[in-house]
Amino acid sequence: MSTETINQELETTKNNEVSWDGGSEPFKASYGKLMMWYFIMSDAFTFAGFLIAYGALRFSVPTWPEPDFVFQSFPGGLTGMPLIFVTLMTFVLIASSATMVRAVQEGQRENKKGVVFWLLMTILGGAIFLGCQAWEWHTLIVKEHMTLSENPFGRHIESGTYLAGDGYDIEAGDTFEAGAYYLIHKKDGEWNQIPYRTADGEIKRQELGPPAFGSLFYFITGFHGFHVLSGLILLLIIAINAASGIYVKRKNGYEMVEKVGLYWHFVDLVWVFVFLVFYLL
Amino acid sequence: MGHVSYEEAKKTVLKGLILLALVTVAEVAIALLGKGYIIPGFYLPRWLIYIAMIGLSIYKAYFIMGEFMHLRYEVKGLVSSILLPFILLVWAIIAFLWDGAWWGEKRLDYKTEFQKETQGVIDEAELEDTIELLD
């Protein structure tokens, strides 16, 4: 064994000892940032569990409602605009993610004014998103009467002819094919389930849709909305802190802004999949 | 950011914003076109819509994680420790959707069996009573 090899071995042993003593960062990230990543990972699994449950239940019911039939309202009493409103909501959230990146960038340049400005823009975006969600929930609860246990959105599994009108868009004598979607309205506080005659001549009434649709919608979008709300509170706290100059003293390139930024992007990331599963598929 | 100049980094944000917006518009356009809302009577096959939607959404997620969350520029070990656990979801998605489809089959079998026995229209109240009894 040459002296060189021995020296190298000694060197390696020394480095290992240094590693075991701690103080080095194998992932080149601070403790806080790393833990934020692992929190995000675990939270992603929670959302994945919710969305997979949605998928399994959807697969198990032939009368599951179609998203572009359910989500077709637009503020101002407009209807028949499938997915347009939720697309706007998605834009707002993406934009607030981009302004968050700007806040992190200004932080790395130690530009206090820039950080506060872009954080406020991000808060504005998040607040608009929550407002849009509130409007969407309001429409479903007040106008369409969907609850955790009752879902008025259904689907026909056979073709037939309606025997009465519902005063909205169904008239007596209207025909429909298997697979057609319908919304049951309330009349004097009761479900107005319209009778129809099937192709075989049987007389039936419209059935309420699978209740799991309503509860999953409120739970999943509500859980996401709760994340947005928590994110807004965190953003507000760090905006106030940044304005107070506390991060200038820390001299770490506004790392706190970066960590909250990770969380905020995660909220946007989850929305990509909620949007996919609930509205697009 | 460290790896690029400030001006370049600012441009990346704007580009990213436009890219994500365009992908979202594409997704909604495919959904509406494929389901016959834009050209009456024109439909795309469902499997094509599904593949396009899922592909575009995964691309959006990749971009948000890579650029906005800066994961592309982290150490390899950190990236793997975050991304590899998600392989579990491949199993979860297949297993649960498969099971969901099976529940659906059983539900239909049950309804037709019941229909045979009663020789007629399914009476919802009666059906519910029977389910309760079975429970």
> Are residues B132 and B68 both part of a single domain?
no
How many Cβ pairs closer than 8 A exist between chain A and B?
140
> Are residues B12 and B68 both part of a single domain?
yes
> Are residues B25 and B3 both part of a single domain?
yes
Stretch (H or E) spanning A182? strand A181-183
**Which residues 6+ apart lie within 8 Å of B92 measured at CB?**
A48, A49, A52
ipTM above 0.95, yes or no: no
What is the C-alpha to C-alpha distance for residues B23 and A95, in angstroms, rounded to an integer?
A: 14
Question: Per DSSP, what are the bridge partners of residue A218?
Answer: none
The whole model's pTM is what?
0.87
> Are residues B61 and B111 both part of a single domain?
no
What residue ranges do the domains of chain A occupy?
31-149+213-280, 153-205
> Are residues B44 and B104 both part of a single domain?
no
pLDDT tens for B16-40 read: 999 999 999 999 999 999 888 888 8
For chain B, the domain total comes to 2
Domain encompassing residue B124: 77-135
Among B73, B91, B108, identify where a domain stops: B73
pLDDT at B131: 57
> Given the DSSP bridges, would you call strands A160-162 and A153-155 parallel, antiparallel or unpaired?
unpaired
Region A166-174: what's the mean pLDDT? 85
Long-range contacts of A30-34 (CB under 8 A, 24+ apart): A30/A255, A32/A255, A32/A256, A32/A259, A33/A255, A33/A258, A33/A259, A33/A262, A34/B78
**Residues B74, B81 contacting (CB under 8 angstroms):** no
Q: A174-185 burial string, b = 16+ CB within 10 Å, else e?
A: bebeeebbbbbb
> Are residues B128 and B112 both part of a single domain?
yes
Task: Count other C-beta atoms under 10 Å from residue B107's C-beta.
Answer: 12
Q: Helix, strand or coil for residue A175?
A: strand
> Are residues B18 and B68 both part of a single domain?
yes
| Lowest pLDDT segment from A19-23, A120-124, A153-157, A240-244 | A19-23
pLDDT at A12: 58
> Are residues B69 and B81 both part of a single domain?
no
B112 shares contact with chain A (CB less than 8 Å): no
Residues of chain B in contact with residue A54, where contact means CB-CB under 8 angstroms, are none
Question: At B77, is the pLDDT very low, low, confident or very high (cuts 50, 70, 90)?
Answer: very high
Q: What percent of chain A has pLDDT over 70?
A: 93
A88 shares contact with chain B (CB less than 8 Å): no
Question: At A263, is the pLDDT very low, low, confident or very high (cuts 50, 70, 90)?
Answer: very high
Phi, psi of A164 (to 5 degrees): -150, 165
Residues of chain A in contact with residue B76, where contact means CB-CB under 8 angstroms, are none
pLDDT at B130: 55
B103 shares contact with chain A (CB less than 8 Å): yes
Among B73, B97, B121, identify where a domain stops: B73
Which amino acid type is present at position A139?
T
Phi, psi of A81 (to 5 degrees): -120, 75
A182-191, B75-84, B101-110, B114-123: which is most confident: B75-84
CATH of A31-149+213-280 among 1.10.3720.10, 3.10.180.10, 3.40.50.700, 1.20.120.80: 1.20.120.80
> Are residues B98 and B39 both part of a single domain?
no
To the nearest whole Å, the CA of B40 is away from the closest chain A CA by 14
What is the C-alpha to C-alpha distance for residues A281 and B3, in angstroms, rounded to an integer?
A: 38
B131 compared with A254, residue with greater pLDDT: A254
Among the listed residues A134, A111, A114, A104, the one whose alpha carbon sits nearest the alpha carbon of residue A264: A104
A223 shares contact with chain B (CB less than 8 Å): no
